[in-house]
Structure 1
């Protein structure tokens, strides 16, 4: 079974369970609020399972269960044990607060106490206080308000609602460590898609489909085998960062996310994918206005920024090291090139950067044209332009492109790849398969012309087009139509006219007989 087939099976199971959970919550609250509880409890199950596995390893020679060990020993012994787990995982969950304990009680007694879960969630943050991991666990569950009256008017009603969700999540057969999908990111996208109108959000703004992530990850990791740091200035759920980690050994992950909810989701996702708290740093804030990590340079920079987002474009940024080399700022109505300039400033001299952007960045004029010219003419940073199919992302059907940048380029040409027709039609979105990805990456590696698919353009060609990078200017995908035999077409038309005339004459006879004419 191919990777894409495995993804489809895992997604189908996940989506079916999510639908059941959403129906359990329906009527209790607004649809867009479901996601905080569902995602938070999926993550809580994961954290619990990690503690159980760790505890089992520590106690395997003592031939005692985690629960019995905790019951049989005094507070000092328990504290030493929990400290060992915090040092390893960054947090601790006591046996009575484990997800498995709650679901066991639920099965045996058909009852659940939401106040105990609330204590459990508070205890996670408390277990990391004063440790290296404190920042990574602070406020992780802030969006999941278990005291909210939207869940029910009293503790009993709230307990019943959340109990049903816990039971559904318990039945979800997912091996977190070996999943081929981004469980939290995919779940978030599905829930947003299910209730898009109510949510008023676009999942495409923070969640990059795995196949697109795979392309970006392979582009920036090609021929890279040394220690690696990766940065995403618009990291959303963190799925793109994690995809890079599947392609090479990443020593440290850095990301910044403006929205608090998705910032929490990114931190959850790092932990869920076994990225230890010592090896990632996710910041909450506006990357363009209040950038984190300005003192660092990265081996790889990847992003799928919000398309043509607004930003301040304040004149003070003309003195900012990220934007000053270009002489002009990206317009306030379209921040695409502001993100590009920020990312280029973050890129190590030997690094590679890949970013998904709307096609407009290839040809729009004014300030964007000047920035484009400086990047190509003065710095020779742009390496490759890849046109992607339309309708790949939830929430927008526009075609997008991938721009690949490198700082130390020995050549001055630019590779153009037109992959806009390389997709399978999906129910809601178009899909890129493993075969399509392989073709893109092989073309990128070979860097040669491919008829109707790729062209290596010289700097002279770029200059002749006045630095307009619109892909059809460089990759000719025109298909000649078959020649039309005019004489044959005329003969066919004459024959049809004669047949029509004969039918009219025949009808006239019947009309006369019926006295209708």
Structure 2
């Protein structure tokens, strides 16, 4: 069947078809690298099919006047002559070079929106990507039409998110750098409550999952997502490219994703100060070593306002960067950290003390183990606000959600019911035995500014309902059983002639 004649694709059909593309790469390509090849090809196929769709619509409107139909304003992205998917499909040799040339040409033709978006894959490396392999991949992607008529932007974006999750599952330990479990992000957004007209910033944006969840939250609560402004920075080139493709495939246009090292060279700067945002959210690399301490000793943006983080742990560098990026007075932020950041001493202890005395920390949520790729350790979420509610001024909300997860074979999962329960505890803002404690700053000072959740939320010890008489009876029964067992043993030994 000609792909142009196909009906609208369902999400499940699209998901299974896309993942089959990865199977073509198995063997010569490691699972951790699937995303590097699949995402750019998927994006290229999508924008070419949409271009054809836009051209047909423009031609009809121009009453078959080809010159008018080819006006630049008729197209979201321009596909130059010789760079279309159909041209690549017609190649029988040097397919990798054709792909690479087309991608670079498209980037150049759409420099404002697509510059460097296809990443830096060496498609012309025939040892890794022989023509036969690429031919199979191109033919597979050619089976279906990915125009808007066949695949709506939201469906395309959701399928893209599915692939990101699947590739994270496949590569596991390599996935922590670009993927955060969706339910963890959902919990963070419910706490931060982004609103239309606000700007959202993720300084460790990965594949843009946090920004997309902010869009979902605003949409679910009746807001206009076209009035939400999205910003992110990502050090890894492939990952930052995927983030941009992900947002475009979700139909977004008003965003800025910049490739670069946030801690050493922040991208969002206004004159000599950091740009500030209404919501700041991130899951940065845990306990990053050599994170940029040489720059922070004389940081031009004053991000070491609470102290200098140690060279071997970058966690509080991220925290301070994000606090400095919060807009006053209503700025708020949520960050995922390893739980070691709650109680490690030395420089980190001094930074915790400074932040607590500024009364910016609103909540500490301890999550269950093995929820994140690349680590079995339990993580936590810290929530900060410039302007805390009256009920939490001079206080910090501690939540022990370590038991809130569904056990998985290789990975544990936070489910919607767990998110609902944790969020209800957070909004309730009152003590719950074994789960929640609202601690005063004086109490935290008494613990030397240690934020270890177990210091504040004590586990519930269930009392044995057995009476004293029942206990004594059980002891007697056990003693009698011991005597009987001893007698049986003696008889057996006598029968064997041992005694």
TM-score greater than 0.5 by the shorter chain: yes
Taking structure 1 as the reference length, what is the TM-score of the superposition?
Answer: 0.80
Structure 1: tracts of 5 or more residues without a match = 1-8, 64-68, 129-133
Q: Using a 3 Å threshold, how does the CA distance of structure 1 residues 355 and 332 change in structure 2: closer, same or farther?
A: same
More helix by share: 1
Q: Using a 3 Å threshold, how does the CA distance of structure 1 residues 381 and 169 change in structure 2: closer, same or farther?
A: farther
**Corresponding residue SS for 1:302:** strand
Structure 1 CA distance, aligned partners of 2:301 and 2:211? 25
Report what 1:498 is aligned to.
483
Structure 2 CA distance, aligned partners of 1:421 and 1:304? 21
Number of aligned residue pairs: 470
Shift of 1:511: 3.5
**Corresponding residue SS for 1:148:** coil
Report what 1:138 is aligned to.
115
Q: Using a 3 Å threshold, how does the CA distance of structure 1 residues 319 and 26 change in structure 2: closer, same or farther?
A: closer
Among candidates 199, 205, 209, match of residue 229 of structure 1: 199
Structure 2 CA distance, aligned partners of 1:446 and 1:84? 52
User: Is 1:368 matched with 2:338?
Assistant: no
User: Is 1:209 matched with 2:181?
Assistant: yes
Shift of 1:479: 2.3
Matches within 5 A, 1:273-312: 273-276=250-253, 279-295=254-270, 296-310=275-289, 311-312=291-292
Structure 2 CA distance, aligned partners of 1:388 and 1:323? 28
User: Is 1:93 matched with 2:69?
Assistant: no
Structure 2 CA distance, aligned partners of 1:110 and 1:143? 23
Among candidates 488, 508, 512, match of residue 473 of structure 2: 488
Q: Using a 3 Å threshold, how does the CA distance of structure 1 residues 117 and 206 change in structure 2: closer, same or farther?
A: closer
Structure 1 CA distance, aligned partners of 2:450 and 2:479? 49
Tell me if structure 2 keeps the 8 A contact 1:112–1:159: no
**Corresponding residue SS for 2:278:** strand
Q: Using a 3 Å threshold, how does the CA distance of structure 1 residues 509 and 473 change in structure 2: closer, same or farther?
A: closer
Tell me if structure 2 keeps the 8 A contact 1:102–1:112: no
Matches within 5 A, 1:381-420: 381-409=360-388, 410=390, 411-420=393-402
**Corresponding residue SS for 2:371:** coil
Shift of 1:262: 0.8
Tell me if structure 1 keeps the 8 A contact 2:336–2:381: yes
Structure 1 CA distance, aligned partners of 2:60 and 2:415? 44
Spell out, residue by residue over 1:134-183, the C-alpha distance to the aligned partner (whole angstroms, 9 max, x if none).
Answer: 24312222334332213455x4x254343354257779xx9563449854
Spell out, residue by residue over 1:21-57, the C-alpha distance to the aligned partner (whole angstroms, 9 max, x if none).
Answer: 3332234345544332112222223323443454455
Q: Using a 3 Å threshold, how does the CA distance of structure 1 residues 419 and 239 change in structure 2: closer, same or farther?
A: same
**Corresponding residue SS for 2:478:** helix
Structure 1 CA distance, aligned partners of 2:123 and 2:383? 45
Structure 2: tracts of 5 or more residues without a match = 1-9, 219-224
Structure 1 CA distance, aligned partners of 2:13 and 2:433? 38
RMSD: 3.5
Spell out, residue by residue over 1:69-96, the C-alpha distance to the aligned partner (whole angstroms, 9 max, x if none).
Answer: 6xx73xx43541xx1134xx2x223698
Report what 1:339 is aligned to.
318
- More divergent stretch after superposition (158-167 vs 279-288): 158-167
Tell me if structure 1 keeps the 8 A contact 2:400–2:436: yes
Q: Using a 3 Å threshold, how does the CA distance of structure 1 residues 190 and 331 change in structure 2: closer, same or farther?
A: same
Structure 2 CA distance, aligned partners of 1:435 and 1:357? 23
**Corresponding residue SS for 2:166:** helix
Shift of 1:234: 0.5
Report what 2:216 is aligned to.
246
Q: Using a 3 Å threshold, how does the CA distance of structure 1 residues 176 and 216 change in structure 2: closer, same or farther?
A: farther
Shift of 1:60: 5.6
